[in-house]
Amino acid sequence: MNILETILVYAAIPLAIYGVCALATLRSKLASSPRYRPGQPWEYPPMWWSANPEGVGGPATAEGETAAPSKVRGGARGNW
């Protein structure tokens, strides 16, 4: 093996592989929309999210009153 073949096998090919891997991992960051950062104005409507919507409260009745509170118990603290 001459010096050119040695450099290609031990330097250029591994650098090319690292370059392809780097481009593959950075591709999603370069193509995506910018992320929200604290302090920026929020341009979306507010949304209430709950993992258990039935446990948040009862549905509103026809008269505009809420139904009896749910009997669902539990949670992250383990209050059963």
Q: What is the pLDDT of residues 11-69, one digit of tens each?
A: 999 999 999 998 888 877 666 677 778 888 888 888 777 776 666 655 555 555 555 66
Q: Which pLDDT score is estimated for 51?
A: 72
* Structural domain contains residue 51: no
* Domain that includes residue 4, residue range: 1-29
Cβ-based neighbours of 42, under 8 Å, separated by 6 or more: 36
> pTM higher than 0.85, yes or no?
no
Q: Which pLDDT score is estimated for 7?
A: 87
Q: How many residues does the chain have?
A: 80
Are 55 and 72 in contact by the 8 Å Cβ rule? The answer is yes
Tally of domains in the chain: 1
* Structural domain contains residue 8: yes
* Structural domain contains residue 54: no
* Structural domain contains residue 4: yes
* Structural domain contains residue 18: yes
